[in-house]
Every structure is written in C-alpha cells, then in structure tokens.
Amino acid sequence: MKKWSLLSFFLFVTIISVAQLLPVNYDHYTRFSHLTVDDGLPGNNVTVIRQDASGFMWIGTREGLARFDGTRFRIFRNIPGDSASLANDYINDILITPSQTVFVATWEGISIFQPETFTFRQVPELFKDGRGLLDAHVRALQFEDEKHIWAETYDGTLHKLNIETWQTGTFQHDKPSQPYYDYHALYKDRENTLWIGGRNMGPLKKQGKNIIRIENDPGNPRKKRDADVAFFFEDSNNDFWVGGLDGLYQYDRKNDVFNKRMSTSSYKMTECRHGCLWVATGKGLAKIDRDRKEITKFLPTDNDNSSIIHDNLNCITLDMAGNLWIGTERGISILNTTQNMIRHYRHLHKEPHSLSNNHVSSFLEDKAQNIWVGTRGGGLNLFHKENDRFEHFKFSDKEENSISSDQVSALFEDNDGKIWIGLWQGVGFNRFDPDTKHFEHFALDSSSFKKRLVLRFCSSPGRYADGRVLGCRGYQALR
C-alpha cells in the first residue's frame, strides 16, 4: 500500500511539473469594431483572413470570398457554368505568395485570382500525366518556393504542386474526419520541416519522402492528449505551439515533450510586434503575456456592442498597421491598438465588478492614490487598478451605516483622510472612513429634507480644517 501511495505521489508531481497551465485573467473593457453581412461580408461564418502587399484584406467565408479595401467589399462567388468564377463558395484557406498571387482553397478545388480581369483560373484535377489534384476538397495551402506550393486535401493527400506546369508529387497520410470542422493545419517551420494536422489527425511531420506521426497519449502528461491539430505556430523566441480541440501546447521538438498551457480549444495563433501571442479559441480571444506568464481572455458581453462579437473564433491575423482581425461565426471583430490607448470603463450588466452606473458625477484621487468614482444612481465606487475591478458602496435600508443615497454629487478628502460625499437626493451628506468602511450621516438643517442638496466641498486652509459645503442655499462652514 505504501509503495502504491509513493508511486501515486510521484505521478502527481510529474503531471504538475509538465502540464503547467498558465493563470487566466479576464478583460471586459477592451473595445472592438465589427464587420458583418450588414456591412457587406458575403457570410458571417469567417474561416480565413489574409492581407496582401497592397493592403487589401482577403476574407474567406462559408458563403463566398471578399476583398476589403478598408471601405468597401468586393464579393466573389461561384457562378454555375462559369469556369472563370470561384470554384466553390465554401472557402477553407487563402494563400498569398511573395509575388502576390492569390490562391483560394475551396471544397471543390483551388482557384487562382486574375487581377487584370477579376476572374479566376482553376488548378486542374489529376490526369494520367501527374498534373493537378487527387481530391477537389482542399483543406489547406502552404508556400514552398517561387515554383511550388503545398496543398492538403480531405482524402489524406499532401500535394506538392508546380504552379507553372501543375506537375504534382503526392504523399499519403492519415485522413482527417468530420469535414464540418473548418480547421486544418499545414505549416513550415524555420528548419523547413513541414507539419500537418487536422480533425482527429496529427501531429504529423514530413521527413524526406515519409510522413511521421507524433504519437499522442491521454495518460502521459509529456504527450499531447488527442490526435487533433488545428494549427502549428513558431514564435519569435523559437517556441513551437500546437493547438487543437484538446487545448494549447508548447512542444519541445528536440525532446518530443508537450507542455499544456491552456485547456480551451485553440484554433489559430499570431504574434504582435511587441511579442505577445494572440490565440483564437472556442471560448473567446486569448492574449499570452510571456513575460508575466499569464493569459488574458476577451469574451462577448451582453448589451455591449463594443465587446468581441462572438466567443467561438475561427481565425486571427495581424494587418500591416498592427490591428488584429478575428474571424468568428458571426462576423469579424477588429482590435485597433490605437483606439484602446484610452481605457473605457463602463457598467456591464452581467459583470458584478464593473462600474455601478454609467452616469458618473464626480472623481477623487485620495492621498493613497486610490480612485473613487461617484455616480448618479450607482452610489460610490472604489477602483482597484490591479485587476480592473470596482468595489461598490450602495444604499441599503437594511444597513444603518451604508451610504444615505445612491445619487452622489460630490467627493472631497479632508486632512484626516476621510471622504466627504455630497448627495443629490435631499438627504444631506456623508463622511466615509476608508479604513472601517463606515458612513456617517449629516444634515445642515434637519427640518428641511427637500433642500439639502450638496453640490460641492471646498477647503479653506488656516480657518476651517474640514472644509465648506456648497448647496442650493449657499455655503456652510464645517468646523
């Protein structure tokens, strides 16, 4: 029994040391702009977003292809019987080569954009002379060199296509399943190793003419749990990331060790100019701060149109200006870094630690550099800078020492560090002790409730230690 206990403890310590999940915080205030079918998108279910060297954003959806110039969309769809139109409206991937050729992977082949005529030519099917595709259902594309691209098809074939002659080399591997999952991974790292993955498939890597399977094992904390890959990504620190339905992993390619960093299903990753990593997940947008070793998540908020548009994200990319484009099931959300230089705190209906009311009437920074916010209808707020949370102080008829009213008009700190609170509701004013969280209630004229509206406090050094009150009947000194 003792041997079994010791073994169990050893296994527990091993799991903890390898599977180091990063701590998660939540950001409720970052603002996003959005693009949907109402703005001109061909469909709201966005599968891929790329940008070309001219600045055009190419957007693939389940209902067609769009090119966005920052103002207007140009839509491309399949026209039955027209071989110069898009092969199919269901877009799986877009590849833009260094020479700016745009390849579009669809459920029925690869279309190549012709900018002179705004039409498409098609990659041929595989003929006896070895040209084109074995399967028309193309899942992913990857650039190889100026004469070749890689293409993954649903039948489990990796194609190396000569884009001048369409001569094709093919490599067979495990077939993915459930094609209604849009993700499929085809990625070349800095060592020119080609990595492959998909739904219930992978990780795989190409070595010479062979494709090697990286074994998964749900019982081994040093392995990936599932044979499932949505993306591979190598960051600027040469860390290698693998995402799938079973979460986000850092993969040590030399020692074949997976280290799980996030349990949420992860579908795409990119890196900003400052080194932070952004992940499109099945539960919102995730930002990884590698210096702090923590994750910040962004989720949609009910009745807040400036929050991210949906929590199930398909793809993510950075444009040349550093803006983050996020493709979801309900359109595109765009995170503009300049727009968010000013933090916008507001009341959020389902977030109990947001600002208590959006009608802000007064501010106070006390001697301890705490920020106090008075509101018309939400009482008094204390802002906690370390976690972006507001602590609320509201009127309660069940608490004798609560604030007298939620209608705050003015805030003032006296020499003793007490906070004086003016109120609009004709109930006098309060003095608050931040240490004890105790409110004292005052009235200048206890016989006239309707006219005791306190609008401002002001100090008078040398004569009045605590200050003066400005109300609807003038000044009153407080001794």
> pLDDT digit string (tens) for 86-126?
999 999 999 999 999 999 999 999 999 999 999 999 999 88
Cα separation, 100 vs 97, whole angstroms? 5
Burial 408-447 (b: 16+ CB within 10 A, else e): bbbbbbeeeebbbbbbbbbbbbbbbeeeeeebeebeeeee
**Tokens 């494709």 found at:** 211
Q: Which residue has the higher pLDDT, 442 or 256?
A: 256
The pLDDT of residue 274 is 86
Per-residue pLDDT averaged across 442-454, rounded? 59
Cα separation, 224 vs 212, whole angstroms? 15
The pLDDT of residue 388 is 85
Per-residue pLDDT averaged across 247-270, rounded? 97
Average pLDDT, the chain: 89
The pLDDT of residue 295 is 95
Count Cβ atoms within 10 A of the Cβ of residue 272 and give its class: 0-12 exposed, 13-18 middle, 19 or more buried.
middle
> pLDDT digit string (tens) for 365-422?
999 999 999 999 999 999 998 888 999 999 998 888 899 999 999 999 998 999 999 8
- 21-341 topology per CATH: Methylamine Dehydrogenase; Chain H (2.130.10)
Lowest mean pLDDT among 99-103, 137-141, 231-235, 348-352: 348-352
Taking Cα atoms as reference points, which of 282, 272, 217, 273 lies closest to residue 248? 282
Q: Taking 60 as the threshold, does the pLDDT of residue 446 lie above it?
A: no
Per-residue pLDDT averaged across 79-90, rounded? 97
Q: Which residue has the higher pLDDT, 11 or 450?
A: 450
pLDDT band at residue 459 under the 50/70/90 scheme: low
Taking Cα atoms as reference points, which of 139, 135, 249 lies closest to residue 198? 139
- 360-478 topology per CATH: Methylamine Dehydrogenase; Chain H (2.130.10)
The pLDDT of residue 183 is 96
Q: Taking 50 as the threshold, does the pLDDT of residue 145 lie above it?
A: yes
Cα separation, 407 vs 458, whole angstroms? 19
Handedness of CA 162, 165, 169, 172 (dihedral sign): positive
Do residues 408 and 372 lie in contact, with contact meaning Cβ atoms separated by under 8 Å? Answer: no
pLDDT band at residue 427 under the 50/70/90 scheme: confident
Per-residue pLDDT averaged across 349-375, rounded? 91
Q: Taking 50 as the threshold, does the pLDDT of residue 69 lie above it?
A: yes
The pLDDT of residue 166 is 94
Per-residue pLDDT averaged across 123-130, rounded? 82
> How many C-alpha atoms does 193 have within 13 Å on its Cβ side?
18
Cα separation, 335 vs 326, whole angstroms? 8
The pLDDT of residue 15 is 41
Cα–Cα–Cα angle for 120, 122, 127, rounded to 5 degrees:
170
The pLDDT of residue 364 is 93
The pLDDT of residue 130 is 83
The pLDDT of residue 73 is 97
Q: Taking 80 as the threshold, does the pLDDT of residue 341 lie above it?
A: no
Cα separation, 120 vs 447, whole angstroms? 84
Token pair, residue 70, equals 């920052």
The pLDDT of residue 362 is 92
The pLDDT of residue 444 is 63
Lowest mean pLDDT among 156-160, 172-176, 456-460: 456-460
Residues contacting 219, CB < 8 A, separation 6+: none
Question: What single string gives the DSSP state of each residue in 327-352?
Answer: EETTEEEEE-TTGGGS------TT-T
pTM confidence score = 0.80
pLDDT band at residue 127 under the 50/70/90 scheme: confident
Taking Cα atoms as reference points, which of 275, 273, 272, 217 lies closest to residue 249? 217
Cα separation, 68 vs 296, whole angstroms? 29
Cα separation, 439 vs 458, whole angstroms? 20
% of the chain surpassing 90 pLDDT: 73
> pLDDT digit string (tens) for 253-264?
999 999 999 999
Lowest mean pLDDT among 168-182, 257-271, 407-421, 457-471: 457-471
Do residues 357 and 311 lie in contact, with contact meaning Cβ atoms separated by under 8 Å? Answer: no
Q: Taking 50 as the threshold, does the pLDDT of residue 7 lie above it?
A: no
The pLDDT of residue 461 is 55
- With residue 18 as reference, give the H or E element that holds it: helix 2-18
- CATH 2.130.10.10 in the chain, residue ranges: 21-341, 360-478
Q: Taking 90 as the threshold, does the pLDDT of residue 460 lie above it?
A: no
Q: Which residue has the higher pLDDT, 399 or 340?
A: 399
